[in-house]
């Protein structure tokens, strides 16, 4: 299938998502999510922001650079990564969330697959939950999200971070991801989560080949018919390195290409490390795509 641009006026109407006293509206702009990895071993910046003061400072820098959402995670999900105990993950993320909640108006997202971490992070000031397992690793996660009545991001993954690149198998990656989304939405709604608070992420790099990752970006518009906002996370990933043969921190402009193509194909949120540079990319691509000019 050829790359498809989805003009805002031709997409299914997506109701705004209420987050506290704020609303995220879709179709007329793309939101930027900045990444704060409070980990010693993330693939892109492992250890750079492991200490609380530096992590908080970095989150504030991302917000100042234009991030609408700051995503805080305390467990690496790179291929082959080992799980982190709940208490250790909490010790990593809670001080950072508390520090950012006092200092920025940007929305705060907790990047976790653990219900206990999500619950305490939301109490500490997080506004939404980003679950890379799509509620697949912890059966208590849907209940936590439903009780808190917060938005959630449900990502597609095949396997776990430890195993996801070992035995990649799909009948058709786009169709299979779409089917997965439908089952995850159904599970969430049955748990009491408002469907209007669900965001979908196709999981670039999570149990896919390089070719499959680029196909998902190219054909992202296939998921628009589900009527939910789409998040695209390509930043600095190995699929970009496979093309330009650069280490993660040198993949800024490769990332920019995927951000522009993803927005063109229907992404509503882009998750990136290099917010300042991607702010320019998003604004210009929005103009080309016919979205509302930013003030």
Residue matched to tokens 């987050």: 19
Output the six-digit token pair for 221: 């518009």
CA–CA separation, 231 and 116 (whole Å) = 24
Angle value at C-alpha 66, between 65 and 69, nearest 5 degrees: 120
- Backbone CA torsion sign across 56, 62, 65, 66: negative
Helix axes 275-289, 52-65, angle to 10 degrees: 30
Please identify which of the residues 211, 271, 283, 292 carries the catalytic annotation: 271
237: annotated active-site residue: yes
Q: Are 40 and 46 in contact (CB under 8 A)?
A: yes
Query: Residue 245 burial by CB count (10 A; 0-12/13-18/19+): exposed, middle or buried?
Result: exposed
Q: Cα Rg for the chain, rounded, in angstroms? A: 17
271: annotated active-site residue: yes
- Backbone CA torsion sign across 154, 155, 157, 160: negative
Q: Cα dist. 155→41, 52, 178, 198 in Å?
A: 21, 27, 11, 11
Q: For the chain, percent helix, then strand, then coil, each to nearest 5?
A: 45, 15, 45
Q: Are 265 and 217 in contact (CB under 8 A)?
A: yes
Q: Are 224 and 6 in contact (CB under 8 A)?
A: yes
Would strands 31-37 and 17-19 be described as parallel, antiparallel, or unpaired?
unpaired
Please identify which of the residues 215, 237, 251, 283 carries the catalytic annotation: 237
What residues are annotated to the active site?
A: 237, 271
């Amino acid at each position: 299938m050829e790359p498809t641009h989805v003009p805002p006026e031709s997409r299914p109407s997506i109701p705004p998502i209420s987050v506290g006293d704020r609303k995220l509206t879709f179709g007329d702009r793309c939101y930027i999510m900045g990444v704060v990895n409070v980990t010693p071993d993330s693939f892109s910046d492992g250890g750079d922001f492991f200490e609380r003061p530096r992590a908080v400072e970095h989150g504030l820098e991302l917000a100042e650079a234009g991030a609408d959402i700051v995503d805080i995670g305390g467990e690496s999900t790179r291929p082959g990564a080992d799980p982190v105990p709940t208490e250790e993950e909490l010790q990593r993320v809670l001080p950072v969330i508390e520090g950012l909640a006092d200092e920025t108006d940007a929305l705060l997202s907790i990047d976790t697959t653990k219900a206990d971490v999500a619950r305490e992070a939301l109490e500490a000031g997080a506004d939404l939950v980003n679950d890379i397992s799509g509620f697949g690793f912890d059966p208590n996660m849907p209940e936590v999200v439903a009780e808190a009545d917060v938005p959630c991001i449900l990502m597609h993954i095949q396997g776990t971070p430890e195993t996801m690149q070992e035995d990649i198998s799909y009948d058709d990656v786009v169709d299979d991801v779409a089917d997965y989304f439908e089952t995850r939405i159904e599970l969430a709604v049955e748990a009491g989560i408002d469907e209007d608070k669900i965001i979908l992420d196709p999981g670039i790099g999570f149990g896919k080949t390089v070719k499959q990752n680029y196909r998902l970006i190219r054909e992202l518009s296939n998921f628009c018919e589900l009527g939910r906002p789409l998040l695209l996370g390509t930043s600095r990933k190995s699929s970009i390195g496979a093309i330009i043969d650069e280490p993660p921190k040198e993949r800024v402009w490769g990332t920019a290409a995927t951000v522009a193509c993803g927005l063109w194909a229907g992404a509503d949120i882009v998750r990136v490390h290099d917010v300042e540079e991607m702010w320019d990319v998003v604004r210009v691509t929005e103009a080309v795509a016919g979205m509302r000019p930013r003030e």
